[in-house]
Amino acid sequence: MAAPRPVAGPVALPVVHSWIANRPVEGRAGQRPAVNPATGAAFARVSLLDAAQAGSALAAARAAFPAWRAAPFRARARVLLEAREVVVQRAEEIARLVEQEQGKPAAEAHLVEVFPALEALKHLAVHAEELLKDEPVEAQVVLFAHKDCRLRYEPYGVVLVVTPWNYPFGVSLCGVAAALAAGNTVVLKPAPATAVVGLRIAEVFRAAGIPDGVLSVLSIDDALAPALVEDARLDKIVFTGSPATGRKVMASAAKNLTPVVLELGGKDPAVVCRDADLDRAARGIVWGAFVNAGQTCASVERVYVEEEVAEPFLARVVEETRKLRVGDPAAGEVEMGPLTLERQRTIVEEHVADAVAKGARVLTGGAARTGPGWFYPPTVLAGVDHTMRVMREETFGPVLPIMSVPSLEEAIRLANDTEYGLTASGWTRDPDNARRLESELQAGAVTINDCVYSYGEPTAPWGGFKKSGVGRTHGRAGLREMVQVKYVARDPTAGPMLWWFPYGRELDRLMPSAIRALHARSPWTRLAHQLRLLRFRRFRRRGRLASILKRADRLF
């Protein structure tokens, strides 16, 4: 980390700066406090760039792009592997910083932030070249059969990666790594609430030897964000955040037709079948609901359990939930820390209050504790239905509403009764039920007898159906979001093609036979017209007969 600079005031706090072209840059637009959500106290200040400074990062990225694009894959892989080693060496420091600024316990930060980042760096360094290599394409039109055709994957240029506060290290580093592996230069804008963690990524890559200008990490005032998204120097935008902000990003990007990937919200259901292993389902769902204090777009936010096993399942869930220790992670061993933002706790309180007012029962939790920090206890609700906000809106907090349903059919119907479709989980020991859940649940990822985890698997694409987003991150699909597809074809032959000027009457007579030779239903009709084509001098001279005969199987 760059040497902190003290500021005037009753308590001297370190000041953290943005990084442009491998150098820390003191912002000229004021400072913002970095706050520990467990205490409400500031532990640092972050200087904010003005518009001109942010623009200089885009200029640096544009200038660095030609050389980075031209660098062989092994050179880019070397940077990713060096970054991996830096993260390994600094893992404890990074996890503690996440704990301090975002609120999740350091043990959990290792698990869900550091570990996925390391796996992504390794996967991209090893496999990106293979995933993005040219693909031969065999021409299907026999008249083009002699051409050498390929699909080529080329980087966009300057990619803006905008990341959220709930996973400030893992999501940010994974997005940056994919863009870099594909040959893009990157400008990262981390969430204001967790900017210190995001800025640490610049230091990781600087230590890894990334060339100047290839990566910049910016902290800017919220008012400047729309202008950044609208900047014509951007070639692609990858945004992770709320649906409301995602709509604004898409609208702003549309002014320059800048392509976007949007990873937005979820209201992720779990379906518990009557044959499920209830102990496993309860423990897995409790983890999926309360990991990161429920501040995960893939959190289990709704449960539908078949009524035959609803009572024992609820008892197990409540038992597991009451075991969870909540508090300041820096002060002792806990499973759950605070919510990251005070306003997020307010949303949680509103959702619970709305549910209770409409008849829901609080089985455990249900009231914010007094004192410093933005804590809310893990809460289990029963007697819920789809009139309640907690079953329809993204809560993004430690609340687990559980609804008893008469059948698997009804569970699937209700699980799909949402405008979101990011992830879903099914809990069953019956292979037929598993296949049905995999087929009928409307989500970008469906997992059986586990939940949430797939973001940690670098081969798994990440993205949703419906209003959960546009495009994918992670895996082959996510890597290919970072490139443009180019079709390239070489013709090794000499002389004019059959369809080139001049046309003339002979071509006018030839084309009806060519159409029937290739597309008539009857093979005998096709054969008759194929033979007829040989009468035309133009076809004999321009038709590349040798190549056509090599693909004779396509003529019949």
The DSSP secondary structure of 81-140, one letter per residue, reads HHHHHHHHHTHHHHHHHHHHHT-S-HHHHIIIIIHHHHHHHHHHHHHHHHHTS-EEE--S
Candidates 174, 273, 297, 451; catalytic one: 297
Q: What is the DSSP letter of 26?
A: -
Q: How far is CA 285 from CA 105, 294, 385, 456, in A?
A: 19, 11, 19, 17
CA pair distance 556, 372, nearest whole angstrom: 78
Candidates 99, 263, 320, 394; catalytic one: 263
CA pair distance 374, 371, nearest whole angstrom: 9
The DSSP secondary structure of 391-423, one letter per residue, reads HHS---SSEEEEEEES-HHHHHHHHT-SSEESE
297 is catalytic: yes
379 forms beta bridges with 399
Q: What is the DSSP letter of 473?
A: B
Query: Nearest Cα to 374, choosing from 399, 349, 401, 400?
Result: 349
451 is catalytic: no
What is the four-CA torsion angle of 191, 194, 195, 199, rounded to 10 degrees? -110
* 8 A C-beta contact, residue 199 and residue 190: yes
Strand duo 423-427 + 445-448: pairing: parallel
Query: Nearest Cα to 270, choosing from 402, 440, 377, 364?
Result: 402
- Taking only Cα atoms into account, the Rg of the chain, rounded to an integer number of angstroms, comes to 28
Query: Nearest Cα to 101, choosing from 198, 15, 6?
Result: 198
Q: What is the DSSP letter of 452?
A: S
Strand duo 483-490 + 148-155: pairing: antiparallel
> Looking at the annotation, which residues are catalytic?
263, 297
